[in-house]
Amino acid sequence: MIANWDQFLLPYQQAVSELKVKLRGIRKQFENRNERPPIEFVTGRVKPVASIKEKMSRRHVAEERLEQDMQDIAGLRIMCQFVDDIYDVVDLLRRRTDLTILEERDYIHNEKPSGYRSYHIVIEYPVQLVSGEKKILAEIQVRTLAMNFWATIEHSLNYKYQGDFPEELSGRLQRAAEAAFKLDTEMSEIREEIQEAQQYMTPQHHDSSSTGQSKEE
Ligand code: 0O2
Ligand code: 0O2
């Protein structure tokens, strides 16, 4: 029996706090270089004890197996503007040496039956405790703002209906998820247009196209 949940969750709390700082740091570094960051914002949470217990009984996870079998006790969420940013963020995470990626689940190309889309990464992360190093599991969900909008609303409805949606509502939610993904696709296409336009407007391009001379000449 876990007698002291606060004590059990302490390393998870520490991991969430550290990872929030580190992931928000990525955004800052891009800003300092005057580049558009692939990360819009980062949130994090430790799963509440009631939700852990509920998932343990639903998934038949024994307390002795909790650390290995429940991957999202520590949860981080990274929100991006564009779908491509998600894959850039995943690449950045793959190159880090302070965490180890154990699993990746692409629910963007393989959306869930509900319509849910996100990129999930399960990591092993070492926390330094006074008793020594402890490696814990954490789940990082990477998604666009539109995917986040859909998931947040669907999550509250799920809570209200306890996962048992009336058929009509689940159909509408699936269609809403498609609409959100269409919005993501459209925004990506507009982004390409914007970048092309911005490139055309750079002084170099302007000089060479108006005078026939490049800046170097
Ligand atoms: P700022 O200046 O508000 O942007 P903490 O770890 O204490 O900083 P906490 O209390 O854990 O944050 O909150 P949470 O829910 O993990 O993360 C909240 C952060 O995400 C805040 O940023 C919010 O501003 C930001 N956030 C939440 N929702 C949105 C959103 O829809 N759009 C944008 N752009 N940001 C959002 P900060 O770091 O507290 O600073
Ligand atoms: P929370 O803290 O309420 O978000 P399972 O956890 O049983 O669903 P698995 O395979 O362990 O399944 O993990 P999976 O499916 O990779 O990730 C589970 C998490 O993804 C969920 O956590 C949600 O955060 C999110 N998620 C997955 N499917 C959906 C969905 O259809 N709608 C929404 N809104 N979110 C989804 P939890 O357990 O719900 O915890």
Domain boundaries, the chain: 5-198
Residue 118 and residue 108: Cα distance in Å, rounded? 5
- Our answer on whether the CB atom of 174 is closer than 6 Å to any ligand 1 atom is no
Does the domain at 5-198 match CATH 3.40.50.2300? Answer given as no
How much is the pLDDT for 206? 54
pLDDT at 133 over 80: yes
Total residues belonging to the chain: 217
User: Atom 35 of ligand 2 has which residue's CA nearest to it?
Assistant: 151
How much is the pLDDT for 213? 43
User: Atom 10 of ligand 1 has which residue's CA nearest to it?
Assistant: 43
Q: E strands, 94-199, where?
A: 100-106, 119-129, 132-144
Q: pLDDT of 99-111, one tens digit each?
A: 999 999 999 999 9
Q: pLDDT of 169-204, one tens digit each?
A: 999 999 999 999 999 999 999 887 866 776 666 555
- Our answer on whether the CB atom of 120 is closer than 6 Å to any ligand 1 atom is no
Residue 160 and residue 202: Cα distance in Å, rounded? 52
Active site residues: 139
- Our answer on whether the CB atom of 205 is closer than 6 Å to any ligand 1 atom is no
**Do 78 and 23 meet the contact criterion of CB atoms below 8 Å apart?**
yes
How many other C-beta atoms are found inside a 10 Å radius of the C-beta of residue 177?
21
Q: Is the pTM of this model over 0.85?
A: yes
Q: Which of 126, 75, 132, 78 is nearest to 98 (CA)?
A: 126
